[in-house]
């Protein structure tokens, strides 16, 4: 099973900034600017590293079909991995796999099986749901459980229930897999907003909120 680990220099830089800010508070009197220097103060992500964004189309992530648009008829209670695909600065399609933490898990359950705390408003007809596929414990890619009862992480046996908001049902993960709002646009599944909760590797809501703001400002 593939293990996706963050090595994104932009994220690393953000974490460095956060660490630097903490350090600045700790030592007092040392300004953030003097800690960071002024050489590259501007946050900037390339489009392939941006998180799933409103309007992105969901495409297959499995190697044999990578980039092909996912059809509703291909979805079932078995996990289908997806990437969000958006537009580059030149208007061409860009699969946002530059950040491996953008990998997604899609399911389609019979009506009535998706229940709280799944946000049903963020599903397609209460049947199709999307989550981050990155384990909130240490970032491994989560798979279908071989027992047929939800999802299981191959690294330390974390378990999640995709019918109940991907809450943790076993093992060490500290929180649920983040749900991604999706909707149908013709035959295509498209993203309708940011993740509803902070995805891996974030550990503080404030960090996730400021990251979203930075992305929005960059796109404005």
Closest CA to 148 of 134, 161, 133, 136: 161
Beta-carbon count within 10 A of 214 CB = 15
Q: How far apart are CA 160 and CA 145, in angstroms?
A: 9
The correct pick among 17, 20, 138, 196 for binding ligand FES (CB under 6 A) is 138
Q: Between residues 98 and 172, which has the closer beta carbon with respect to ligand FES?
A: 172
155 makes contact with ligand FES (CB under 6 A): yes
Question: Is there a contact between 25 and 215 (Cβ–Cβ < 8 Å)?
Answer: no
The correct pick among 14, 96, 97, 137 for binding ligand FES (CB under 6 A) is 137
170 makes contact with ligand FES (CB under 6 A): no
| Count of residues engaged in binding ligand FES, rule: CB under 6 A | 11
Q: How far apart are CA 192 and CA 194, in angstroms?
A: 7
108 makes contact with ligand FES (CB under 6 A): no
DSSP string, 135-186: -TTT-PBPEE-TTSSSEE-TTT--EEEGGGTTEEEESS--SPPPEE-EEEET
The correct pick among 5, 44, 71, 156 for binding ligand FES (CB under 6 A) is 156
158 makes contact with ligand FES (CB under 6 A): yes
Q: What is the smallest separation between the CB atom of 142 and ligand FES, expressed in angstroms?
A: 7
Interface with ligand FES (CB under 6 A): 135, 137-138, 140, 153, 155-156, 158, 171-173
């Amino acid at each position: 099973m593939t293990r996706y680990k963050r090595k994104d220099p932009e994220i690393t830089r953000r974490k460095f900034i956060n660490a630097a800010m903490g350090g600045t508070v700790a030592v007092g009197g040392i300004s953030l600017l003097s800690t960071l220097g002024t050489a590259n103060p501007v946050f900037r992500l390339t489009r392939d590293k941006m998180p799933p964004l409103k309007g992105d189309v969901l495409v297959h992530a499995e190697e044999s079909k990578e980039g092909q648009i996912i059809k509703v008829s291909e979805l079932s209670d078995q996990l289908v991995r997806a990437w969000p695909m958006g537009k580059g600065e030149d208007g061409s399609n860009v699969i946002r796999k530059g950040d491996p933490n953008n990998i997604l898990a899609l399911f389609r359950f019979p009506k009535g099986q998706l229940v709280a705390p799944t946000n049903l408003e963020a599903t397609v007809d209460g049947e199709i749901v999307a989550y981050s596929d990155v384990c909130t414990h240490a970032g491994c890619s989560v798979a279908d459980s071989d027992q047929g009862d939800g999802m299981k992480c191959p690294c330390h046996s974390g378990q999640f229930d995709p019918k109940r908001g991907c809450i943790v049902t076993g093992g060490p993960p500290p929180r649920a897999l983040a749900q991604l709002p999706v909707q149908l646009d013709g035959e295509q599944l498209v993203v309708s907003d940011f993740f509803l909760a902070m995805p891996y590797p974030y550990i503080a809501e404030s960090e996730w909120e400021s990251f979203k703001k930075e992305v929005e400002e960059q796109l404005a």
